[in-house]
Structure 1
Amino acid sequence: MSNVTRVTENDKSQDGDDPTDLSSSSQSQLDNEIKQNQKVKKRHKNSNTIKSNSKTESNSYVSIESDSEDDNLKKKRKLKYKNRSSGKEIETITLISEESDNGTDRHTQQINQIDLDTTDVSNGSSSDDEGQLRKAMAMSLQPFSDDDEDIQHKTQPMASKLGNLKKGEKLKSPIRMMKSKNYEKLDPTCNEDAVSLHDLIGSPDLISTYQFDMMIDCDFILPHITADPLNLDIFVIHNGEDLNLKPEHRLMFKITPIKMICAGYGSHHTKMMVNFYKDRTAQIVVHTMNLTEMDYHGQTQMCWISPKLHQLKIESLNDEKNKENQLKKQPDFKIDFINYLKKYKKIEIDQLVQDISMYDFSPIKAEFLSSAPGKYEINLENNDINNKEVLFGYGKLYQLFHKHSLTIDGANCNRITKFVAQISSIAAPFDSNSSNIFTHILNPIMAGNKEIVLQPGLQSVHNAMALHKYEPVVIWPTVDEVMNAMFGYLSGFALFFQKERKFNNFSYKNQYAVLKIFFYRWGSKNKNDLGLSGRKFVSPHVKTYTSTSNEFENVNWFLLTSANLSKFAWGAPARGYGAKGDARDKKTIHKYEIKSFEAGVLIHPDLYKIEGEGEAGAETGSVVELVPVFGSDELEDNFNNIINDIKGEVVKVPIRFPYDIPLTKYSQGDEPWDAVAKEKAIASANGSTSLI
């Protein structure tokens, strides 16, 4: 069993020009508003629970004295709660796990109280504090009780319906909406097919989970876990923020914290889960939320859930030839996923690499597009279509788009194509001038432009738009959209953008001059319209990128990711390889550097080609289209989204959208929500934070 470790990490990691997520103070403020205005149910109903004194918490720790099994195969764990300074025992707790009548594990606890001196002079804590802590632990170690429907009404996680494609199977969107229970008060149908946090981590069969995120509130997520704590390993990979873990939760759960501190202004911004179950299956979840109550209840979030993955046949791996054939059948997702995990260079993640390598990824219909800190090179001579180079960020985007002919030039599109970025943070220009990562690097890559990096300014953007027939679109909430959202100005705390900056830093102002003509609203203009997506009045924390050449009748591809418009997330050209760079090998290779960890999944039509039995390996006559859907994960019945083998048939794959169409461009009176608007809203707040 893993050691139970004390987790009190107070180090803060600066997110620099890409402050995608909220500070702890902002989080606390919005959490309070959510609880007050929307009456969010408390996770712990026991009114007798006494919170531990912070002085006691900081001067005590948990020690595992023994792990054992008795003759009746009851698993026992003895833990001693000790004073950190003196080493004096405060409490001994024995957790016992046994098999119940219905075959599931249950656990009880035996608490042996230890006599305490009236006062411990070494740390200044009183016996009253220790007594309160003892009572708190005794009650909190009982199985969680909660009348939250998310926690009680389901016992199994939702698996993606998109596993092995079978003839006659009806397709559902691989991109899922996270539940917004508060929004049901406005729109009772808004959560159709939506996913709850309990769906992701609430299975009683969960035996191990890896939680990758920037901010994690353990006391918020742990009540969603129903698996036996004695048989569950929890690995928390985070950015260095305080994990907010109560002493009783430290005792009950085996939690291994892994703190990732990135150089410069980089951050561990990935939002992902890897879960393992009793039946030896595994599941990967890529999502967009910090694991906090604020992010879960107060913002628009989405996720991608892999099918349940099964282990490769061990006997086939013993034969080298069979092993080689098995690995050849594995999709690029597995290779890219493992390459990403290796970038952590942590013992616990190395073990995850070994474990997940034994699983069959062939049911996955997605590409893994991630970012990891480091310096990389793109081979421009062959477009890196053979995946010879291990790339991340915009280099991986370049690689995937050329390999699967997703660029405008590769698709031979003759119509105007919209490149759409819907994000929650727009950072500083990557060249300290006016060049935004979206308009000056990502768009040229998506279009198939010969030069990866455009010259600074707006003229180069217009030239590329005319040459390749595309239009950039940036979906960003206006001031009135934020103020009319569910939590008023508090809804804008997770939206980061600066039109200008103090101390005469003109780069932000210059960047806005380039971007403002491409700004579109988050929802429709009509205030009485609840919107197609069911999230019009829930500010976005989701990040999506897509393109369409026919006003969203279908989309060419779709990317769900944690990456905002930031050079730290996507990368920035190395010195000499920018638009004005003079590196000697600039025409054959492109060098760039990434600062942050990010994770996303790319969906494109080639992933859904129907496998055939001939040498071609696919029904080349079938056409696959990705079609936007709103309010549910399925297309209407009159659409053909059923897999069959009729050559020439159009198969439609639904993709759930978080925002409304048709898109609404900013009008003359619209202003983007930015740092100045946030300051004004806070200053003028008169006690009411919701305008709806």
Structure 2
Amino acid sequence: MSQESQHGKWTLSDSDDDNVIPPTPPKKPNLKPDPEHRANAVNTVPKPKPKSEPSIKTEEISAPPMGSEARQAAHLNQSNPVKYENSSSPAVKRKRETDEGGWNLSSSDDEAPSSAPKVKPRQSRSSPAKKKIEDKRPPSPHGPDYYKEEPSDFFEANLSAMSDTYRFYLNKVTGIEKKYNTGALHIKEILSPMFGTLKESVQFNYCFDIPWMVKQYPPEFRDKPVTIVHGEKRESKARLIQQAQPYSHIRFCQAKLDIAFGTHHTKMMLLWYEEGFRVIILTSNMIQADWYQKTQGLWMSPLYPRLPEGSPETAGESRTYFKRDLLEYLRAYRAPELAEWIERIKEHDLSETRIYLIGSTPGRFQGPDMEKWGHLKLRKLLSEHTCPVQNAEQWPVIGQFSSIGSMGLDKTKWLAAEFQRTLTTLGKASSSSSPGTPVLLVYPSVDNVRTSLEGYPAGGSLPYSIQTAQKQLWLHSYFHRWKAEVSGRSSAMPHIKTYMRASPDFSQLAWFLVTSANLSKAAWGALEKNNTQMMVRSYELGVLYLPSAFDMSTFPVEKNIFPVSSSSTGFPVPFDLPPQHYSSKDQPWIWNIPYTQAPDTHGNIWVPVLKTLQCYAMDQK
């Protein structure tokens, strides 16, 4: 069923056609909804394919990793791309310019195609025909290294090139200049003997590819016990367990999700070594695509030594109360599988920690418990551990994220009300509201995605849906492009999420936060019952940097974060400041509508309806 809106004419799914009764498949596709849009996800069974549609052979479609519907569409787009055809009568026309400043989104219904696009299976990396296919690709705007595999020294971290001032690191990205990977980390390095002799680990995450994850551990640690903390249920849980059957050293811990539409979105590693204990809080899922050509971030703790035998439980606490907050977060799972880890953490000295923990756990909280989680925890810390600045209303707030939830019909419902009050808090004397403070939201435009290293499939990690977008057009006036020349990652789409408060000239930061939490009420929480109750749907985790914990008044912004200098005191903001506002032609990336008017860096277009068809075919395999 086609629908009209300010975004042009678009089609959600072939099965929405009122005149077609879809067949009853032997097994219904079970696509995990997007982390921020479970309520709005499109889970439909496509109608029978007309003869004019491309033939899709199930044996040509490789199984996607566990993940959201958008990510599965991205995986299938890469496996079976639809090539761009530049003809005088294109298969898919674009709507004429509208009054919405560039919101003339593509339509698959404007005109019947003269011939259906051909689905061309992507060759595997080991295929002898690969070089021939690459020769036919368009010249890469990212340089000759774009199509190459990782170089032999890609996984060799240079510890001397890593800055331990903030312990904030970006991931390594394939296809960019080598200097922009110095001081960055890959998962293989994080799990390597370079950081400790591993005895056991826990992996908290949203998406898992277990066979791939196991291969990231070095051979000498590959059989060490691993606990996977996840939020899967029913069929998706069964598939996850099935993935782990060949690995006897893996066990599971299911996070309780008692509130509808919540997800287990936390991304954390607990690593227990012979030498001590370490915590990694990151933004990457446990799948290959998240460690390949995306911009991700992580905080790596120091190596925490074991406390002397008989030390009290309060020993080894940091000035930021990180140990207390980490234990409280783990207890919130109410999981017997984590009890042993809670005891281990008690036995270690975490006093060297200089960041604050910001977590979200599902529930409805009242009284003092309201300030334990989500954005009210952030507000409490900003109130207690920052100081007011002169002309504070001129210090902009910057939010950068990879997914967007529903925030209401206008900005006063949540964003410009309780959430903005939190983000603009500086010291106890902060005003109850700062409506004049600039709020700048950094989110990739369609052109950012199209010209990225991955091309359109990068949009599978940016699951902003048309159903949500059309209800909050007011939000899009806040949007700024993703531009990251300072880190050499403008072409590596962000899956990192960061929030900060900057000086008017963007040379100083009042605070900085890296987290798993996207821009949504489910992640950050929302006030209820006349502001007497806080409701949070999801598990999230991040780390807050406050200058007072580093004996500074503000953080200077590092102008050149690569190559990394161990002596630098500037904070390595991973994208360019000041952010660049969308032009009149820019559109925010929306994952579940087609983009067919221009090819991406692989010469392909994006047709999500076709991806649903491919998912259906794959499920029948």
> 2:527 corresponds to which residue?
573
Q: Secondary structure at the match of 1:681?
A: coil
1:416 aligned residue (390, 394, 415) = 394
> 2:376 corresponds to which residue?
395
Distance 1:485 1:12, change over 3 A: closer
1:215 aligned residue (189, 192, 207) = 207
Residue 559 (str. 1) matches residue 513 (str. 2):
yes
1:671 aligned residue (587, 599, 603) = 587
Q: Secondary structure at the match of 1:532?
A: helix
Matched letter for residue 666 of structure 1 = Y
Quick one: distance in 1 between partners of 2:587 and 2:154? 40
> 1:26 corresponds to which residue?
73
Checking the alignment, whether the CA contact within 8 Å between 1:206 and 1:276 is kept in structure 2 is yes
Q: Secondary structure at the match of 1:303?
A: strand
> 2:94 corresponds to which residue?
none
Quick one: distance in 1 between partners of 2:456 and 2:303? 40
> 2:329 corresponds to which residue?
340
Matched letter for residue 446 of structure 1 = L
> 1:518 corresponds to which residue?
478
Checking the alignment, whether the CA contact within 8 Å between 1:157 and 1:201 is kept in structure 2 is no
Distance 1:272 1:414, change over 3 A: closer
> 1:648 corresponds to which residue?
none
Quick one: distance in 2 between partners of 1:453 and 1:376? 24
Where do 1:243-254 residues align within 5 Å?
A: 250-254=245-249
Residue 483 (str. 1) matches residue 450 (str. 2):
yes
2:250 aligned residue (251, 255, 260) = 255
> 1:264 corresponds to which residue?
260
Distance 1:350 1:475, change over 3 A: same
Quick one: distance in 2 between partners of 1:157 and 1:246? 36
Distance 1:378 1:360, change over 3 A: same
Quick one: distance in 2 between partners of 1:266 and 1:246? 21
Residues 252-304 of structure 1 show CA distances to partners (whole Å, capped at 9, x for unaligned) of: 5500022225230000000110101122x111001101111111113211111
> 1:580 corresponds to which residue?
none
| Deviation (angstroms), 1:574 | 1.6
> 1:599 corresponds to which residue?
541
> 1:301 corresponds to which residue?
296
Matched letter for residue 604 of structure 2 = T
Residues 506-548 of structure 1 show CA distances to partners (whole Å, capped at 9, x for unaligned) of: xx545321x2222111017xxxxxx222110111111000111
Quick one: distance in 2 between partners of 1:340 and 1:294? 28
Matched letter for residue 327 of structure 2 = I
Quick one: distance in 2 between partners of 1:436 and 1:534? 37
Quick one: distance in 1 between partners of 2:590 and 2:403? 10
Quick one: distance in 1 between partners of 2:529 and 2:430? 14
Distance 1:341 1:453, change over 3 A: farther
Where do 1:267-416 residues align within 5 Å?
A: 267-279=263-275, 281-317=276-312, 326=315, 331-377=320-366, 391-405=372-386, 410-414=388-392, 416=394
Distance 1:248 1:337, change over 3 A: closer
Distance 1:305 1:557, change over 3 A: same
Residue 625 (str. 1) matches residue 539 (str. 2):
no
Checking the alignment, whether the CA contact within 8 Å between 2:487 and 2:574 is kept in structure 1 is yes
Quick one: distance in 2 between partners of 1:269 and 1:248? 20
Quick one: distance in 2 between partners of 1:521 and 1:177? 19
Residues 120-143 of structure 1 show CA distances to partners (whole Å, capped at 9, x for unaligned) of: xxxxxxxxxxxxxxxxxxxxxxxx
Quick one: distance in 1 between partners of 2:123 and 2:356? 38
TM-score, normalised by the number of residues in structure 2: 0.69
> 2:492 corresponds to which residue?
538
Residues 1-30 of structure 1 show CA distances to partners (whole Å, capped at 9, x for unaligned) of: xxxxxxxxx987645644696336235326
Residues 548-578 of structure 1 show CA distances to partners (whole Å, capped at 9, x for unaligned) of: 113321211110000011111011112332x
Over the residues paired in the alignment, what is the CA RMSD in angstroms? 3.8
Quick one: distance in 2 between partners of 1:303 and 1:313? 30
Checking the alignment, whether the CA contact within 8 Å between 1:554 and 1:626 is kept in structure 2 is yes
> 2:61 corresponds to which residue?
none
Q: Alignment identity in percent?
A: 22
Residues 567-597 of structure 1 show CA distances to partners (whole Å, capped at 9, x for unaligned) of: 11011112332xxxxxxxxxxxx32110100
Checking the alignment, whether the CA contact within 8 Å between 2:410 and 2:472 is kept in structure 1 is yes
Distance 1:403 1:227, change over 3 A: farther
Distance 1:329 1:494, change over 3 A: closer
Q: Secondary structure at the match of 2:381?
A: helix
Quick one: distance in 2 between partners of 1:453 and 1:550? 19
| Deviation (angstroms), 1:174 | 2.4
| Deviation (angstroms), 1:221 | 1.6
2:420 aligned residue (440, 443, 446) = 443
Q: Secondary structure at the match of 1:655?
A: coil
| Deviation (angstroms), 1:495 | 1.1
Residues 139-165 of structure 1 show CA distances to partners (whole Å, capped at 9, x for unaligned) of: xxxxxxx998479757x9999753xxx
Q: Secondary structure at the match of 1:219?
A: helix
2:573 aligned residue (643, 657, 661) = 657
Residues 398-433 of structure 1 show CA distances to partners (whole Å, capped at 9, x for unaligned) of: 211111125xxx34445611100000111101x565
Matched letter for residue 324 of structure 2 = I
Segments of 5+ residues of structure 1 without an aligned counterpart are 1-9, 43-145, 163-170, 318-322, 380-387, 455-462, 502-507, 525-530, 578-589, 610-621, 636-640, 643-651
Checking the alignment, whether the CA contact within 8 Å between 2:480 and 2:580 is kept in structure 1 is yes
Q: Secondary structure at the match of 1:556?
A: strand
Distance 1:342 1:313, change over 3 A: same
Segments of 5+ residues of structure 2 without an aligned counterpart are 1-28, 42-66, 82-120, 128-148, 607-621
Matched letter for residue 578 of structure 2 = P
Query: Could you say which structure has the higher strand fraction?
Result: 1
| Number of corresponding residues | 483
| Deviation (angstroms), 1:236 | 0.5
> 1:141 corresponds to which residue?
none
TM-score, normalised by the number of residues in structure 1: 0.62
Quick one: distance in 1 between partners of 2:542 and 2:347? 22
| Deviation (angstroms), 1:366 | 0.4
| Deviation (angstroms), 1:330 | 5.9
User: Greater RCO between the two (CA within 8 Å, min separation 6)?
Assistant: 2
Q: Secondary structure at the match of 1:606?
A: helix
Q: Secondary structure at the match of 2:508?
A: coil
> 2:604 corresponds to which residue?
689
Residues 276-335 of structure 1 show CA distances to partners (whole Å, capped at 9, x for unaligned) of: 1122x1110011011111111132111110010111112444xxxxx65x3666641111
Distance 1:366 1:474, change over 3 A: same
Residue 226 (str. 1) matches residue 226 (str. 2):
no
Quick one: distance in 1 between partners of 2:292 and 2:599? 22
Say which is worse superposed, 208-217 or 241-250, in terms of deviation. 241-250
Quick one: distance in 2 between partners of 1:368 and 1:566? 19
2:462 aligned residue (495, 498, 516) = 495
Where do 1:142-181 residues align within 5 Å?
A: 149=152, 153=156, 162=164, 171=165, 173-181=166-174
Structure whose alpha-carbon radius of gyration is higher: 1
| Deviation (angstroms), 1:350 | 1.8
